[in-house]
Structure 1
Amino acid sequence: MGVQLIRDGSAANDPASPVRQDNDRVIETSIPARLDDLRWSGFHTRVVLALGITWILDGLEVTLAGALSGALKESPTLQFSNFDVGLANSAYLAGAVLGAIGFGWLTDRIGRKKLFFITLAVYLTATAATAFSWSVGSYALFRFLTGAGIGGEYTAINSTIQELVPARYRGWTDLVINGSFWIGAAIGAVSAIVLLDPALIGPDLGWRLAYLTGAGLGLIVFVMRMWIPESPRWLMIHGRPDEAHAIVDEIEKSARRHVQDQPQPAFPKVRLRMRSHTPLREVAHTLFTVYRQRSMVGLVLMAAQAFFYNAIFFTFALILTDFFGIPANHVGWYILPFAAGNFLGPLLLGRLFDTLGRRKMITLTYGVSGVLLALTGYLFSIGVLTAQTQTIAWMVIFFFASPAASAAYLTVSETFPLEVRALAIALFYAIGTGIGGVIGPALFGALIDTGSRTSVFAGYLLGSALMVIAAAVAWRYAVAAERKSLETVARPLAFVE
């Protein structure tokens, strides 16, 4: 039922192949079909919790950085300018870019589970160090390292979601886990309200305690990560089919606990040639030759959402304080409804990505969020919005933008072969964030510094245009991957006819 080893060296060194493989072991396995056949179980719930809590911590981290902008400017030690705030946030994103590439490469070579602990250690250490920053430079450096850990998390977590969750639930699960970022954002907002209250804590101590609190909460993740096994799909290709078979047996036992008397169906099998790793030459050939159209779609979606999100969210507090006169210690109250819209979007619209389909929903969410940003940006520029109505407008915009952003990760992680999945996520996240995300916060920080609503509106129009262009690209080229096995959407490179 599980794995059958076949000795077959006939195609091991096919000169027509872009890479030579020395390993001649071929397995015939039903593991992908068995994983996709499962109904939702306690195992899948534990996976969602263990992965979602990481995104909650990331949301906490990023929200604190945004909400603490005013406190950093008022800090007697650091005395940030708006440009310094934008620069530090760009450093965080630059770290995430480089971390995603480096850890993404490692994820495909040594597995998803090991990377979970490496990236988490980097993240926690750097976050704690941020609390002890003594200058603008040291703060930016520690934010860079924190971003590196988070960038690695993006690749390992999105790979794991795709490879452990049955096809019929894959879209909604991916969107909700990525959307859980905003639960952390809400927690960060509440924390900022308390920690930045001058009646309770001094201005140079509150933001430091905020980062230490985030690092302390992150220790919980180490325990929860024990619940997640290595990806059976990754194991079966990397020469460890027995381990893969044992893991799937345990998952099935958990999922079928109440229906043990039902006969097991006959699952279709695939034949795969085991390999120790996938050379970078084959990765490049796969992404930019075999799947170049999918690569273009992934890059456009990633870049558009990265600019849209990071430019606006990282300068959220600056808009409220500089243009609406909201005190820095009150910004958290405005982040709460914003975070609610961001989480409710994936939660309520996520099912439609599995029913109506990827192409329609990606086009809808990108297009609507882009048009709404242009409209509300115009209202902001002519001064008709208050802090409250501006926040409501952002809440509605990001109800659609949040599932759109998560769909970018979903698209990249499910439309490429297993052997290059993590590195594909890393590359497109890195390139997209480098183009859109790193530039965005620094650009908007500079636009806000001008004090001109018209200048800020111009930045909003740029973000709006990028989202509308991405919607058009998705409508024309996105892959209909809903409810399909990963091996059907993108055949493994190790596949043997």
Structure 2
Amino acid sequence: MCTICALSSLPRCPNRTSVMSSDLDDRRPIGLTLGQRLDRVRWSPRHVTILVGLGAGWLFDSLEVNLVGNFINPLDKHFHASATAGQFVIFSWLVGILIGALVGGRLADRFGRRRMFVATLVWYAGFTVLTGFSPTLSVVVALRFITGLGVGAEYPIINAAISELMPARVRGKASAAVMNFWSIGAILAGLLAFLLLNAVALSDGVSWRYGFALGGILAVVVVFFRRRLPESPRWLASQGRQDEAEAIVAQLEVAAGIGNGEEAGFAAEQATLTFGQALSELVHRYPGRLALGAALDLSEAFGYYGIFAFLPLVVFPAIGIANSQIPFFYIFGNVGALVGGVGMTLLFDKLGRARTVITFYVLAALGVGLLAVATNTANSTLVLVAFMVSSGFATAAWTSAYPTFTELFPTHLRGAGVGASVAVGRIGAAFGVTLVTTVAMHTNITAGYLIVVAFWMVGVAAMVMYALRGGVEAARRPLESLVTPKGRPDPALA
């Protein structure tokens, strides 16, 4: 059963759970607050449109990312570059994501989710196309960095938007469903690479150019869908734009077939925070949550990107897999990823955040161990099967992590909180790409795999520690009820 179908089958009964006032409002609301009205809305076609619109952008983020893995060897061959030089193409892109996540998260809190998720899509689509026209490897590295700025900004924007627009009872499942569009994009990247490398049989010097150009052009199509998506009412209210927030909530209520006759609470207008002020508030009011987000993202980014760079640069050449066969591995590997991600999505709200994250991070580590065993056999079929299993567990792990830490930050800091967490994660990804590959080249392949296993376990340790120290369990709870009142310590540090 697909994730969207699973969401559509949920009971259509309004949720009138009593919640706290908005974290930005010190006054007692009259009637239902804006957050309560959003949470009581039944699942409707409007929610499906929002989910697919945001998911489609995530799909093309993935397409753009996975084009590198599919075309890195032909690109290196064309420029007569070593595997080490190829690492810098991926490294520069990851550094771009690091900076883009930090800046994009803050801009999303300042200018809104909708405006930024249109701008970032246009940005990275344009520079992806330009990558296909690069005359030298140095230009490829530079354009990968610039493209990464746009991709990085997408992480906090999409995660903040989906968590703020969905009813509490399905927020986890809906957020994870959007994350699963990543695997679909990765499959499409593999199909595109297969078409160019095999069906059309383009040379190494041309195939990667067409891949990047076509990937960027296709992404532009999503802009037209994203322009139809609403702004987050919670963000609008946090900026004192109550009338606009009311209008969007009313539209969602009408789409769900319920009235909006009850008066909503107010939201106090906030002074615009600088980047430094936002980070300061996160560190002082939500240190445990920020540390959890950073640790989970560091762990999964190191594990995920470490493997996806490690395989084409070291493992595939070692077991005799030709460039033309690499797309097959990515296609089947991401089919496994999609199965794992969808399976986790169906369990997410039932199991709860901590239990789900811990379970799948442990399974992700075991999956890497299975891949190491298969690689030592030098049997390409066993490696493919192990890669599918490993990808399924890894995707289930990271698609559970993003919604888990996204919903823990208050609305006016959500973009900055997610952006800071992702930025730390990209440090892990950037060094994971170089460290795992370098260690494997200078020692053995198994040593590279063991490093990845160790980093998956960092995420396990972080989630266990957060839960044991009284960290908030957010499954099915309204966002407003997760906020720590001013003057009280973060529960995770109590």
TM-score range, shorter chain: 0.7 to 0.9
- Quote the Cα distance in structure 1 between the aligned partners of 2:406 and 2:459: 20
**How far 1:99 moved relative to its partner?**
0.7
Which of 469, 475, 492 lines up with 2:461 in the alignment? 469
**1:89-488 → structure 2 map (5 Å cutoff):** 89-197=90-198, 200-256=201-257, 270-280=265-275, 282-380=277-375, 383-434=376-427, 436-450=428-442, 452-473=444-465, 475-477=467-469, 478-488=471-481
Relative to 1, partners in 2 of residues 1:215 and 1:89: Cα closer, same or farther, differing over 3 Å?
A: same
Q: Over residues 79-103 of structure 1, what are the superposed CA-to-partner deviations in whole Å (9 max), with x where a residue is unaligned?
A: 2211112111111110011011111
Q: Given that residues 374 and 460 in structure 1 are in contact (C-alpha distance below 8 angstroms), is that contact kept between their aligned partners in structure 2?
A: no
Counterpart code for 2:160: S
SS in 1 for 2:267: strand
SS in 1 for 2:42: coil
Identity of aligned residues (%): 29
Q: Which residue of 1 aligns with 2:60?
A: 57
- Quote the Cα distance in structure 1 between the aligned partners of 2:457 and 2:26: 50
**How far 1:181 moved relative to its partner?**
0.6
- Quote the Cα distance in structure 2 between the aligned partners of 1:468 and 1:222: 37
Unaligned runs of 5+ in 1: 1-20
- Deviates further, 455-464 or 57-66: 455-464
Q: Given that residues 358 and 482 in structure 1 are in contact (C-alpha distance below 8 angstroms), is that contact kept between their aligned partners in structure 2?
A: yes
Q: Given that residues 362 and 474 in structure 1 are in contact (C-alpha distance below 8 angstroms), is that contact kept between their aligned partners in structure 2?
A: no
Q: Over residues 237-294 of structure 1, what are the superposed CA-to-partner deviations in whole Å (9 max), with x where a residue is unaligned?
A: 21211111111111111111xxx5xx76968x65531124234455234321222122
Q: Given that residues 278 and 420 in structure 1 are in contact (C-alpha distance below 8 angstroms), is that contact kept between their aligned partners in structure 2?
A: no
SS in 2 for 1:144: helix
- Deviates further, 58-67 or 344-353: 344-353
Relative to 1, partners in 2 of residues 1:99 and 1:356: Cα closer, same or farther, differing over 3 Å?
A: same
- Quote the Cα distance in structure 1 between the aligned partners of 2:214 and 2:267: 46
SS in 2 for 1:247: helix
Counterpart code for 1:396: V
- Quote the Cα distance in structure 1 between the aligned partners of 2:479 and 2:254: 22
Which of 17, 37, 40 lines up with 2:40 in the alignment? 37
Pick the structure with greater CA Rg.
1
Give the TM-score normalised by structure 1. Answer: 0.87
How large is the RMSD of aligned CA atoms in angstroms? 2.5
Which of 51, 57, 61 lines up with 1:48 in the alignment? 51
Counterpart code for 2:461: I
Q: Over residues 172-230 of structure 1, what are the superposed CA-to-partner deviations in whole Å (9 max), with x where a residue is unaligned?
A: 11112112111011111111112123963222111100001111101111111122111
- Quote the Cα distance in structure 2 between the aligned partners of 1:225 and 1:492: 34
Q: Given that residues 26 and 272 in structure 1 are in contact (C-alpha distance below 8 angstroms), is that contact kept between their aligned partners in structure 2?
A: no
Relative to 1, partners in 2 of residues 1:88 and 1:286: Cα closer, same or farther, differing over 3 Å?
A: same
Counterpart code for 2:353: R
Q: Given that residues 366 and 471 in structure 1 are in contact (C-alpha distance below 8 angstroms), is that contact kept between their aligned partners in structure 2?
A: no
- Quote the Cα distance in structure 2 between the aligned partners of 1:465 and 1:26: 44
SS in 1 for 2:96: helix
- Equivalenced residue count is 462
**How far 1:118 moved relative to its partner?**
1.8
**How far 1:428 moved relative to its partner?**
0.8
- Quote the Cα distance in structure 2 between the aligned partners of 1:281 and 1:469: 29
Q: Given that residues 353 and 361 in structure 1 are in contact (C-alpha distance below 8 angstroms), is that contact kept between their aligned partners in structure 2?
A: yes
Counterpart code for 2:324: N
Counterpart code for 1:290: R
Relative to 1, partners in 2 of residues 1:384 and 1:201: Cα closer, same or farther, differing over 3 Å?
A: closer
- Quote the Cα distance in structure 2 between the aligned partners of 1:284 and 1:58: 26
Q: Which residue of 2 aligns with 1:12?
A: none
- Quote the Cα distance in structure 2 between the aligned partners of 1:402 and 1:156: 20
- Quote the Cα distance in structure 1 between the aligned partners of 2:46 and 2:369: 43
Give the TM-score normalised by structure 2. Answer: 0.87
SS in 2 for 1:216: helix
Q: Which residue of 1 aligns with 2:8?
A: none
**How far 1:397 moved relative to its partner?**
2.2
Counterpart code for 2:417: A
Relative to 1, partners in 2 of residues 1:114 and 1:491: Cα closer, same or farther, differing over 3 Å?
A: farther
Q: Given that residues 304 and 470 in structure 1 are in contact (C-alpha distance below 8 angstroms), is that contact kept between their aligned partners in structure 2?
A: no
Relative to 1, partners in 2 of residues 1:290 and 1:199: Cα closer, same or farther, differing over 3 Å?
A: closer
**1:2-21 → structure 2 map (5 Å cutoff):** none
Q: Given that residues 360 and 475 in structure 1 are in contact (C-alpha distance below 8 angstroms), is that contact kept between their aligned partners in structure 2?
A: no
